[in-house]
Structure 1
């Protein structure tokens, strides 16, 4: 076999290379929830991961993946300093950049797979020599699950954000950003009268027939200062101040306003004023708000 290079999508090659008899040892820094599909391990294997509080809270390492391996009989260990991604079998070693996660499968990754006995031995020695490790027992898993539930997806050194959205749709730089609180518009008496007059008119044979009935729709000018312009970024907040929606072109779930306020405070913005309509003038606050969706 010798040495082979695989990129930018190496995971099919990694998975195939480690489907061998005998114990497998791996040191994979971060595990997504789908890690067991990419990295099929069994009883007798050893897996060292970075399941530190920071990694779990950032949703970089999934307690569900850890539990899957533990239930399968894999010995799972956590090292807070781990940032390597290597796997070794009896005959092969995998060395590269790929974490076991969905984000790794859509990123440009690269690995080397080799059956050189000296490299295989060196990789095994590296994994066995990792210090400051903690056994992932049931107490560890319970704590990790609790941390995951109160955490959020944030950036960690060397890895991309979870479900990272493509930012190309945004203007560069973002110079105007507005918060818009969604309210149910109630037309006035004059508008209701005009609507009734139009809808009661008979359809004549002149011109095209009406196939669609337009309902009332109005967006008040955000912040009361001028009109929206091409390149403006508009974020919606529900009328009950419960949900903050991403830019309309982003396909992702909304974030609870209370959570967003806490996260922005952690980033140095204790008063983001998410509950009132206004233009976000601060460049750093604009950047922090976009980071809520990894933009």
Structure 2
């Protein structure tokens, strides 16, 4: 393998490099909730992380990720002075800037991966020599969870902020929001071809981007013209379920050989679930919106109702 440099998006390379047999020792300053997808550790591995009160309160290190590794049999240690991000396997070493978080996959990061035996030994010795460490056990996790709940996210590039724009999240400023009922629709060969071509152009990076998926939305030109960044919230035709928001991720795409049909790509979070309409209506009423009109298609103009609807999924 030799020595190689990876940037500005090194995580796919790091994840592949550490999928080896034998124990892995890692010192990663901060962990996002999705750290296990980037840093796949197992029983017998050692992980040193900065899970200090300050790091947890700033939402830089997630108790959820800590608990995952502890439950998996990883020995997890917390060092309040840790700022390095290095990993050692039996044969490889990773030295870089990247924290194990989704935000890090969006920031400009870099890493060197090498199989130089001297470097591997040195990285392993560095990790094993970290002082002032605390074992992360159930009592530690309980305290960390309490600290997380009373803290707030502090924007730190590569740690808790987005860095490069994230196409899977809602826009920082939503231009428009619409509520629409779903309509059963089977795409024909022309639309299937158009969808496949557009999806390839919009395909995101591997790894964390799998948290989002693309959908094809078909409508007629006579409908309200949608624009990139608009947010759609769909309700099932039987008014039983309301689906989490989807963001228009393309300009209007003309469907050839149809009578004025157009399509858009919608990007949505794959980890969010629909909510029963009665439950959503009750929650919205508790938030000060007793008549949210979830059973009628309309443009949602009220800023407070927009915010309340997003709160249904903690967005």
Aligned to 1:30: 30
TM-score, normalised with respect to structure 1: 0.56
**CA distance in 2 between partners of 1:145 and 1:67 (Å):** 10
Q: Structure 1 residues 160 and 38 mapped into 2: Cα distance closer, same or farther (>3 Å)?
A: closer
Counterparts of residues 107-118 of structure 1 (less than 5 Å):
107-118=107-118
Aligned to 1:124: 124
Contact 1:59 1:162 in 2 (8 A): no
Deviation, 1:93, is 0.1
**CA distance in 1 between partners of 2:141 and 2:112 (Å):** 32
Q: Structure 1 residues 23 and 8 mapped into 2: Cα distance closer, same or farther (>3 Å)?
A: same
**Aligned residues, how many?**
187
Contact 1:25 1:87 in 2 (8 A): yes
Structure 2 alignment gaps of length 5 or more: 166-170, 173-221, 223-285, 289-302
Structure 1 residues 126-159: Cα deviation after superposition (integer angstroms, max 9, x where no partner): 0001000000000000000111111110145x64
Deviation, 1:253, is 6.0
Aligned to 2:45: 45
Deviation, 1:161, is 3.5
| Partner SS for 2:76 | strand
- The CA RMSD over aligned residues, in Å, is 3.4
Q: Structure 1 residues 163 and 7 mapped into 2: Cα distance closer, same or farther (>3 Å)?
A: closer
Counterparts of residues 165-176 of structure 1 (less than 5 Å):
none
Structure 1 residues 240-274: Cα deviation after superposition (integer angstroms, max 9, x where no partner): 999xx79x9x9x968xxxxxxxxxxxxxxxxxxxx
Aligned to 1:162: 161
Aligned to 1:134: 134
Counterparts of residues 1-295 of structure 1 (less than 5 Å):
1-156=1-156, 159-163=158-162
Contact 1:10 1:109 in 2 (8 A): yes
Q: Structure 1 residues 164 and 122 mapped into 2: Cα distance closer, same or farther (>3 Å)?
A: closer
| Partner SS for 1:95 | strand
Contact 2:87 2:94 in 1 (8 A): yes
Structure 1 residues 161-201: Cα deviation after superposition (integer angstroms, max 9, x where no partner): 435696xx99xxxxxxxxxxxxxxxxxxxxxxxxxxxxxxx
**CA distance in 2 between partners of 1:139 and 1:128 (Å):** 23
Instruction: Report the structure number with the largest CA radius of gyration.
Output: 1
Structure 1 residues 23-52: Cα deviation after superposition (integer angstroms, max 9, x where no partner): 000000000000001000000000000000
**CA distance in 2 between partners of 1:115 and 1:164 (Å):** 30
Q: Structure 1 residues 162 and 253 mapped into 2: Cα distance closer, same or farther (>3 Å)?
A: farther
Structure 1 residues 204-238: Cα deviation after superposition (integer angstroms, max 9, x where no partner): xxxxxxx9xxxxxxxxxxxxxxxxxxxxxxxxxxx
**CA distance in 1 between partners of 2:8 and 2:34 (Å):** 19
Contact 1:98 1:109 in 2 (8 A): yes
**CA distance in 2 between partners of 1:96 and 1:123 (Å):** 12
Runs (4+) of structure 1 moved beyond 2 Å?
158-166
Which structure has greater strand proportion? 2
